[in-house]
């Protein structure tokens, strides 16, 4: 067993480490896109003391003069939010949302990281601020962590490395299963909507090549739609009868491809509410905004029950009576995930826009109404089963992450004894 007695001493960080605050250089092009990683709080999210291996931005050598450099250190997010922990073992820069904690002895790097992970709630409680909570250098310097003798610190690290490694391996397996299910979902949607209906089963007769005997038309999207209407943003609410829910792109559930909750209210005059109003089953397409990772063109169904409108960054599509809305939802989602929609993305200053005319002229393989409904019903069933399995995976991952956090806390505080 470890050599500690009944009480583990606690020592303020300022006596066992150097603490350095970060910074962000000016936006000059000479400062950015170099070889030096630039770490911000989002880059530390979910690491729980593991080595930082991904980052969004980099600095040049000139850019480091406006930031801070660290190496062989623990990085702690100290605002937005407080408590994310990562380890760096090579030279990085970091912004003012992080603090670098460099132990006096590099051999204590892993132990110190585990202690800070176990102290997340206590550190968050020390945050101060009005606009956002921030942990000051003074508060962090005076924060105490368990500090047994060096041999016991090494024993704790070996034990936690082994046990958290087993948990991380299980999490990795769940990640693999999640990706397999997502790939399966993608393949099913693409095959059913873009390559005929050979995979959907059921009563439709098929020819020898697996495609339906009845001919599918290549139909421009605009001929399947009764209307294509850009939304409205209106004015701030005033508590009157014109205040209504306004669906935004931020409300899109991109996995379930739907919008159900619309928390934002805007003041929309009656004529605009009529023109831009939403009906259950309407297809909403992001027409402005977008990012490199999620370009404009994503489509979801409005599945809310309350009267609502959509914002001016959204195109509302409503199907003709002889076309089945959920089939066209899957068609547009399939076109998006396959990258076809991206051909109609136009980049202007600081924002993406969808070429609506080109988008509405896209031609899609189109069966008759009954086949559309059969395909959509099948995809609802298959994607629903996959969604259930994905939800179960999320539950298991959450339990494992919680178990990992409890384990670290119990070991570093001495509640759980570890063998030597």
Question: What's the CATH code of the domain at 17?
Answer: 3.90.220.20
Average pLDDT, the chain: 92
Report residue 236: phi and psi, to 5°. Answer: -60, 150
Give dist(CA 152, CA 147) in Å, integer: 9
Roughly how many angstroms between the first and final C-alpha of the chain, as a whole number?
A: 5
Residues 225 and 330 in one domain: yes
Tell me the mean pLDDT in the region 9-35: 95
Q: Are 376 and 384 in contact (CB under 8 A)?
A: no
Alpha helix (H) residue ranges in 252-354: 270-276, 325-337
Asked whether residue 155 is domain-assigned, the answer is no
Residue 74 tokens read as 């623990």
Q: In terms of domains, do 320 and 228 share one?
A: yes
Q: In this predicted structure, what is the pLDDT of residue 214?
A: 56
pLDDT at 305 over 50: yes
Is 386 domain-assigned?
A: no
pLDDT, residue 332, reads 97
Both structure tokens of 130: 């009005």
Burial of residue 287, with CB atoms counted within 10 A of its CB: 0-12 exposed, 13-18 middle, 19 or more buried: buried
**Partners of 363 in the beta sheet?**
220
Q: CA 187, CA 382: separation in Å to the nearest integer? A: 11
Q: What percentage of residues in the chain have a pLDDT greater than 70?
A: 94
Which of 332, 351, 366 is at the close of a domain? 366
Q: What gap in Å lies between CA 252 and CA 261, rounded to an integer?
A: 9
Query: Does 137 share its domain with 261?
Result: no
Strands across the sheet with 345-348, in order? 288-289, 351-354, 345-348
Domain shared by 234 and 142, yes or no: no
More confident residue, 218 or 211: 218
The pLDDT, as a whole number, for residue 131 is 85
Q: At which of 110, 128, 147 does a domain end?
A: 147
- The answer to whether position 385 is within a domain reads no
Q: Which of 284-288, 379-383, 414-418 has the lowest mean pLDDT?
A: 414-418
Split into its structural domains, the chain has a count of 2
CA separation for the pair 363, 366 (Å, rounded):
9
Report the pLDDT value the prediction gives residue 1, as an integer from 0 to 100.
44
- H/E element holding 171? helix 150-194
For residue 20, being part of any structural domain is answered with: yes
Instruction: Please enumerate in sequence order all residues whose Cβ is within 8 A of that of 357, keeping only pairs 6 or more positions apart, or say none.
Output: none
Exposed, middle or buried: residue 1 (CB in 10 Å: 0-12, 13-18, 19+)? exposed
Answer yes or no: do 358 and 225 share one domain.
Answer: yes
Of the candidates 298, 325, 302, the one whose C-alpha atom is nearest the C-alpha of residue 224 is 325
Same domain as 231, residue 113: no
Q: Are residues 137 and 222 in the same domain?
A: no
Domain match, 22 and 105 both: yes
Note the pLDDT tens digit of each residue in 190-217. Answer: 999 974 443 443 334 444 434 454 578 9
CA distance 246 to 112: 47
Confidence of residue 348 (pLDDT cuts 50, 70, 90): confident
258 with 341, same domain: the answer is: yes
Co-location of 115 and 242 in the same domain: no
Residue 319: C-alpha distances to residues 23, 190, 323, 379 (Å): 52, 21, 6, 19
Q: Answer for the pair 320, 224: CB distance below 8 angstroms, yes or no.
A: yes
Give yes or no for residue 372 having a pLDDT over 50.
yes
Q: Which of 182, 85, 168, 100 is nearest to 397 (CA)?
A: 168
Task: Say if 381 falls within a structural domain.
Answer: no
Region 98-124: mean pLDDT is 96
Contact 52, 58 (CB under 8 A): no
**Measured on CA atoms in the order 183, 189, 195, 197, is the torsion positive or negative?**
positive
- State the Cα–Cα distance between residues 60 and 32, nearest whole angstrom: 5
Which of the listed residues 318, 347, 366 is the one where a domain comes to its end?
366
What tokens does 57 get? 């931005």
Long-range contact set of residues 175-179: C-beta below 8 Å, sequence gap at least 24: 177/393, 178/390, 178/393
Residues 240 and 351 in one domain: yes
* Structure-model confidence comparison of residues 199 and 232, the more confident one: 232
Smallest CA-to-CA distance from 317 within 231, 227, 387, 380 is with 227
Q: Is the dihedral of CA 343, 347, 352, 353 positive or negative?
A: negative
60 vs 36: CA distance, rounded Å: 6
- Is residue 384 within 8 A of residue 147, CB to CB? The reply is no
Within a domain: 160: no
User: For residue 4, what pLDDT band results from cuts at 50, 70 and 90?
Assistant: very low
**Residue 391 falls inside a structural domain:** no
Query: For the segment 244-257, what is each residue's pLDDT rounded down to a tens digit?
Result: 999 999 999 999 99
Q: Are 222 and 143 in the same domain?
A: no
Statement: residue 359 has pLDDT above 90: yes
Tell whether 168 is covered by a domain.
Answer: no
Range of the domain at 84: 10-147
């Amino acid at each position: 067993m470890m050599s500690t007695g009944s009480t583990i001493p606690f020592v303020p960080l300022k006596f066992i480490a150097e603490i350095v605050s970060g910074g962000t250089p000016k936006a000059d092009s000479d400062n950015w896109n170099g070889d030096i990683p630039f770490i911000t709080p989002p880059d530390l999210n979910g690491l729980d003391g593991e080595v930082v291996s991904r980052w969004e931005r980099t600095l040049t050598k000139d850019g480091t003069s406006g930031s801070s450099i660290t190496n062989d250190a623990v990085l702690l997010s100290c605002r937005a939010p407080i408590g994310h922990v990562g380890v760096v073992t090579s030279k990085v820069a970091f912004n003012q949302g992080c603090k670098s904690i460099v132990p006096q002895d590099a051999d204590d790097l892993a132990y110190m990281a585990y202690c800070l992970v176990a102290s997340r709630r206590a550190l968050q409680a020390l945050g101060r601020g009005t606009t956002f909570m921030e942990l000051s250098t003074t508060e962090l310097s005076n924060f105490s962590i368990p500090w047994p003798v060096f041999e016991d610190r090494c024993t704790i690290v070996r034990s936690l490395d082994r046990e958290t490694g087993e948990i991380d391996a299980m999490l990795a397996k769940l990640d693999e299963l999640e990706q397999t299910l997502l790939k399966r979902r993608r393949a099913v949607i693409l095959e059913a909507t873009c390559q005929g209906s050979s995979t959907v089963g059921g009563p439709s007769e098929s020819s020898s090549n697996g495609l339906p005997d009845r001919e599918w038309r290549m139909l421009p999207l605009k001929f399947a739609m009764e209307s294509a209407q850009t939304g409205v943003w209106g004015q701030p609410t005033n508590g009157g009868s014109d205040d209504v829910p306004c669906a935004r792109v931020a409300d899109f559930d991109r996995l379930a491809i739907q919008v159900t909750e619309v928390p934002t209210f805007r003041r929309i005059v009656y004529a605009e509410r009529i023109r831009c109003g939403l009906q259950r089953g309407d297809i909403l397409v992001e027409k402005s905004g977008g990012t490199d990772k999620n370009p404009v063109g994503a489509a979801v169904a409005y599945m809310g029950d309350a009267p609502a409108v959509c914002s001016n960054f959204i195109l509302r599509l409503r199907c003709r009576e002889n076309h089945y809305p959920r089939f066209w939802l899957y068609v547009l989602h399939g076109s998006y995930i396959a990258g076809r929609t991206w051909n109609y993305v136009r980049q202007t200053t600081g924002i993406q826009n969808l070429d609506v005319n080109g988008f509405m002229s896209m031609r899609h393989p189109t069966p008759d109404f009954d086949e559309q409904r059969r395909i959509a019903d099948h995809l609802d069933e298959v994607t629903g089963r996959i969604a259930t399995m994905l939800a179960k995976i999320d539950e298991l991952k959450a339990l494992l992450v919680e178990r990992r956090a409890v384990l670290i806390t119990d070991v570093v505080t001495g509640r759980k004894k570890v063998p030597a």
